[in-house]
């Protein structure tokens, strides 16, 4: 069980679309808005976990065309989120991002996030610690995953929101938002390259 918990920690804390967008939303829009977004991510990641556990995800992802659609939708949505974070607080009218991503945005990101499916498949298909009682093991894994997932994402949100609260100049805030958005774009590029290798 400790090995499983360690795997959860390292798979979740590594920069991916969820944690980077959490920090970005916190930096761009503050803690309350970021908390709503994290709530959406939480709902979404548990929906993905249930899809993986039930086998629905395996059936859907076994169709190559659907995998490409999922990758394209994920890439497009991450680009959209990166743009919202980059231009948060911008006074340029045609790119101004007044509304922060909310609960629905978080759910949607996890629903189309390839990393969410890969991580959940790794965690729930591997690391058996109670092979004689699959129901207990599955419920225990869900509890452990969420017990680690929640503080990690709140930590990333707090880090981003702390940057938002600092009395920095507008130019410094803009540079931070651009850095957060660029980090998300790097994840997009890595996800595309990984998808091309799998294909």
Cβ–Cβ contacts within 10 Å for residue 8, how many?
22
**Tell me: the pLDDT tens digits for 134-188?**
899 999 999 999 999 999 999 989 988 887 777 777 777 777 777 777 776 776 6
Per the CB < 8 A criterion, the answer to whether 34 and 158 are in contact is no
Q: What is the pTM of this model?
A: 0.76
Q: To which H or E segment does residue 114 belong?
A: helix 114-125
**Tell me: the pLDDT tens digits for 76-97?**
877 777 777 777 654 433 344 5
Per the CB < 8 A criterion, the answer to whether 128 and 7 are in contact is no
Cβ–Cβ contacts within 10 Å for residue 30, how many?
17
- Cα torsion through 198, 81, 33, 48, rounded to 10: -20
Helices 114-125 and 134-165: angle between axes, nearest 10 degrees:
140
**Tell me: the pLDDT tens digits for 4-48?**
888 777 777 766 778 888 888 888 888 998 999 999 999 999 999
**Phi, psi of 111, rounded to the nearest 5 degrees:** -65, -30
**Tokens found for residue 91:** 């006074």
Q: Using DSSP, state whether 35 is helix, strand or coil.
A: helix
User: Domain range spanning residue 165?
Assistant: 2-198
Cβ–Cβ contacts within 10 Å for residue 166, how many?
11
Cβ–Cβ contacts within 10 Å for residue 7, how many?
18
How many independent structural domains does the chain possess? 1
What confidence score (pLDDT) does residue 193 get? Answer: 64
Cβ–Cβ contacts within 10 Å for residue 54, how many?
10
Helices 31-54 and 114-125: angle between axes, nearest 10 degrees:
50
Residue appearing with tokens 């100049």:
169
């Amino acid at each position: 069980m400790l090995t499983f918990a360690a795997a959860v920690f390292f798979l979740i804390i590594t920069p991916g679309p969820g944690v980077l967008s959490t920090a970005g939303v916190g930096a761009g829009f503050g803690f309350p808005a970021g908390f709503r977004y994290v709530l959406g991510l939480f709902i979404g990641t548990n929906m993905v976990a249930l899809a993986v556990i039930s086998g629905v995800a395996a059936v859907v992802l076994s169709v190559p065309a659907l995998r490409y659609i999922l990758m394209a939708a994920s890439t497009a949505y991450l680009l959209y989120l990166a743009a919202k974070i980059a231009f948060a607080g911008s006074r340029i009218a045609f790119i101004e991002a007044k509304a922060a991503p909310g609960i629905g945005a978080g759910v949607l990101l996890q629903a189309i996030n390839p990393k969410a499916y890969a991580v959940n498949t790794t965690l729930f298909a591997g690391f058996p610690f109670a092979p004689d009682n699959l129901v207990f093991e599955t419920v225990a894994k869900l509890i452990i995953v969420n017990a680690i997932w929640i503080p990690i994402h709140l930590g990333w949100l707090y880090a981003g929101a702390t940057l938002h609260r600092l009395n920095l100049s507008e130019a410094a805030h803009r540079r931070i938002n651009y850095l957060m958005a660029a980090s998300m774009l790097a994840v997009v590029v890595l996800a595309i390259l990984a998808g091309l290798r799998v294909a």
